[in-house]
């Protein structure tokens, strides 16, 4: 069995501004760095054999925090990068609506078919996310690993593991620095935990008090 701690990166500056990030880079905010530190402590006692990450800095910086207590070097995989959002990247929902009409609302209703110009479909993201997972699983046996990725990528892995359709995309929540746990036994994954965030309790209040 291989156990995967599948986590989302900490909050970024653009997350705080409700901007669509996609393939563009946005640095971790002060809160995001604090979340990454909490995540690191939460996983410090887990016997991690490896830590994998998206190459985008928000995921890589979070992964570095996770890997540090274990003395591991982070392995980046391009297939773990966030969903490409094309012309929406860098824009808020209001700005997208002003420029392109009610496409955000339509995507909420039909996430599979409404794709931003120059962006990726959910099926394309799921294909590469599962390709990355297969590569990771092929490198380990009877081990526990961490994978630090993004909201959309994590959802694609979870939906596949649950045997759920892509139309259920919005029914899964992925908070910043949230933890999912998936066990893989051959071709039969078992989802044990989804979006665990108890390790982040009061982190925002503590950060505000420190500042």
Question: Is residue 202 exposed (0-12), middle (13-18) or buried (19+ Cβ within 10 Å)?
Answer: exposed
6 pairs with which residues across the strands?
A: 147, 180
Among 20, 82, 89, 120, the active-site one is 82
Distance, in Å, from the CA atom of 9 to the CA atom of 206, rounded to the nearest integer, reads 19
Among 9, 20, 89, 150, the active-site one is 9
- Whose tokens are 């530190």? That residue is 37
The answer to whether residues 26 and 202 touch, using CB atoms and an 8 Å cutoff, is: no
Query: Would residue 82 show up in a list of annotated catalytic residues for this protein?
Result: yes
- Both ends of the chain: CA-CA distance in Å? 44
The answer to whether residues 127 and 157 touch, using CB atoms and an 8 Å cutoff, is: no
CB within 8 Å of 193: residues ≥ 6 apart: 179, 180, 181
3-state SS class at 183: strand
Distance, in Å, from the CA atom of 115 to the CA atom of 108, rounded to the nearest integer, reads 11
Query: Would residue 9 show up in a list of annotated catalytic residues for this protein?
Result: yes
149 pairs with which residues across the strands?
A: 8
Catalytic residues: 9, 82
């Amino acid at each position: 069995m291989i156990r995967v701690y599948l986590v989302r990166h900490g909050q970024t500056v653009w997350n705080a501004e409700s901007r669509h990030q996609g393939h563009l880079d946005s640095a971790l905010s002060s809160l995001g760095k604090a979340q990454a530190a909490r995540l690191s402590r939460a996983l410090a006692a887990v016997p991690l054999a490896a830590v994998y990450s998206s190459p985008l800095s928000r995921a890589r910086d979070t992964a570095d925090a996770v890997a540090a207590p274990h003395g591991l070097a982070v392995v980046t995989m391009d297939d773990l990068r966030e969903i490409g959002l094309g012309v929406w990247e860098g824009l808020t929902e209001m700005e997208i609506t002003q420029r392109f009409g009610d496409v955000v609302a339509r995507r909420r209703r039909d996430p599979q078919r409404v794709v931003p110009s120059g962006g990726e479909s959910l099926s394309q993201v799921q294909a590469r996310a599962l390709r990355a997972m297969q590569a990771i699983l092929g490198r380990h046996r009877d081990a526990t690993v961490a994978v630090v990725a993004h909201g959309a990528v994590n959802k694609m892995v979870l939906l596949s593991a649950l045997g759920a359709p892509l139309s259920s995309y919005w029914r899964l929540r992925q908070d910043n620095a949230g933890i999912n746990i998936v066990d893989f036994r051959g071709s039969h994954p078992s989802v044990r935990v989804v979006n665990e965030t108890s390790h982040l309790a009061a982190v925002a209040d503590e950060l505000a008090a420190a500042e």
